[in-house]
Amino acid sequence: MLGITHLRHISMITPNFDEQANFYEKVWGLDRVDVSEEKNIVYFRGAGPEHHIVSLHKGEKRGLHHISFGMVDKNAVDRAAEILKSKGVRIIEEPGYLGEAGAGYGLQFVDPENRVIELSAWVEVQTSTWNKKNVDPVKLNHVVMNTKDLDMIVEFYTNVLGFKVTDWSEHQMSFLRCNRKHHSIAFNQDEHASVNHIAYEVDSVDELMRGISNVRKAGLEELWGPGRHGPGDNIFCYFQDPGGFVMEYTCYLETIEDESEWRARVWKRVPHLMDQWGIAGPPKPEARKAMKGDPDPGWVDETVDVR
């Protein structure tokens, strides 16, 4: 097992750079971390100690830049590199001190669908006072990716990276955990690889409802929710940000109390299990279209001449 401990942050490429960054700071409740002199990258922290939980990279097309997971220390990162190489995984940034905000020691590799995954340790933590608001996203709760081959990608994340399958939504979605939380990453079967949605954790349903109010006042309506999922048992509400990415406020995600006793369940894809409250129901066509995202080819090896 690689020893992945938790989800750190997600980095996205967006052509709507300024508008999306302003939304995160002024509406969504994140704080900008002004540590980069580059004008095409911006980092945002939540109320928790993680240095940043999301970053935006200016680009021509929206897509995933990378997903970062934590590890215990430098030795764990070095050992992970050896294991990944032994399994034929392509490492695109060898273990070393990272150049991104928060620094730390880490590596980057590509998964079978060309997503860039980062493993890091010794990343700086936030010690400054949090700028408290009426909604304070604490951290990333989970990310969901679309995949062309659900079985293949689940096998990679479990057998190679050491994640465990917590639940299935029939054979449409698989929820994977790296700690006691129900899932840190999930995969949804679709026609192409892309970002499905990104979930930000808040402390209570009251905060979640205040977040809905904030987004409405900014002129955006909720995409799906509020409601309460079956798999994960978490309260949810989804929106689409100005960059086109689907974002979720969530709280009360299920915790696995006894690993030895847990067996993955298969949930039926029926309205009362997609939303236990019966308020939101299943996602409407516009929500599904937004979560489908644009086809994302992932990392491109710029050293290869493709002419």
pLDDT at 307: 39
305 pLDDT band, cuts 50/70/90, is very low
User: pTM surpassing 0.85?
Assistant: yes
pLDDT 10s digits, 198-242: 999 999 999 999 999 999 999 999 999 999 999 999 999 999 999
pLDDT 10s digits, 148-194: 999 999 999 999 999 999 999 999 999 999 999 999 999 999 999 99
Write a three-state SS string for the chain: CCCCCEEEEEEEEECCHHHHHHHHHHHHCCEEECCCCCCCEEEEECCCCECCCEEEEECCCCEEEEEEEECCCHHHHHHHHHHHHHCCCCEEEEEEECCCCCCCEEEEEECCCCCEEEEEECCCECCCCCCCCCCCCCEEEEEEEEECCHHHHHHHHHHHCCCEEEEEECCCEEEEECCCECCCEEEEECCCCEEEEEEEECCCHHHHHHHHHHHHHCCCCCCEEEEECCCCCCEEEEEECCCCCEEEEEECCCECCCHHHCCCEEECCCHHHHCCCCCCCCCCHHHHHHHHCCCCCCCCCCCCCCC
pLDDT at 301: 76
Whole-number mean pLDDT of the chain?
Answer: 95
39 pLDDT band, cuts 50/70/90, is confident
